Amino acid sequence: MKPTRYVSYLRVSTAKQGASGLGIDAQRAAIATFISNSGADHLAEFIEVESGKKDDRVELKAALALCRAERASLLVAKLDRLARSVAFVSAVMDSDVTLVAADNPHASRLVLHMLAAVAEFEREQISQRTKAALAMAKARGVLLGENGRRLAERAHSQACIWSETLRPVVERARAKGIRSPTDLAAFLNEQGITSRCGGRWHPSNASRLISRLDPCAPGQP
């Protein structure tokens, strides 16, 4: 029986991240581990430097075309590297190419839809929090523009620093085979660890924690 064939798709949101490898290295490592563990064939890698909000992507189209030509599956490190949009992810799943996420390779269509919904919700929450922070800054007389961008980046940086304190706990969870946001939330609650806001963990904030740790970089919508 021939091994499964994969075409990998990696995405970062800014040219700066693309040039530095920020985010790409973590995705590539996750994909390499998955390929090695599954004994599959890795046919090609496509890298996109584009916002997850944009649907028209040249590299993704090329990756899907190669999948069809070679009867291969499209492989992403995490579902949100494809998109944080239920409609977009659904469109890919409804095409004639099989979609696989390395961090949750056995996920059913229902689970993939749920993960896409969580990612979309997170994107909306980030946008709302950023707008609220900018509005508060403007009310205090802070000049927006460059200052607003720095404010948003600083808020994200502080969240990432806090998330790093939980990395050992997350690593322990992963050692137990815990991967999904739902299972991680349950594990953190069982350990008596509170969220950043001091409350309980849910799939939404557990997913946010995972995103900050791997990779933990600004501009990963």
The CATH architecture assigned to 5-106 reads 3-Layer(aba) Sandwich (3.40)
Domain boundaries, the chain: 5-106, 119-213
Residue whose tokens read 């028209």: 56
pTM metric for this prediction: 0.53
Do residues 163 and 214 lie in contact, with contact meaning Cβ atoms separated by under 8 Å? no
DSSP structural state of residue 14: S
**What's the Rg (C-alpha) of the chain?**
18
How many other β-carbons are positioned within 10 Å of the β-carbon of residue 164?
13
For residues 26-39, one letter each, b for 16 or more C-beta atoms within 10 angstroms of the residue's C-beta and e for the rest, the string is: bbbebbeebbeebe
Q: What is the pLDDT along the chain (221 residues), one digit of tens a residue?
A: 677 899 999 988 765 554 444 478 888 999 999 999 989 999 999 998 877 666 678 898 899 999 999 999 999 998 888 877 777 888 888 788 888 999 888 877 777 767 767 766 666 666 666 667 666 666 666 555 555 566 667 777 777 888 888 888 899 999 989 988 889 999 999 988 888 777 889 888 888 888 888 753 333 33
End-to-end CA distance of the chain: 39
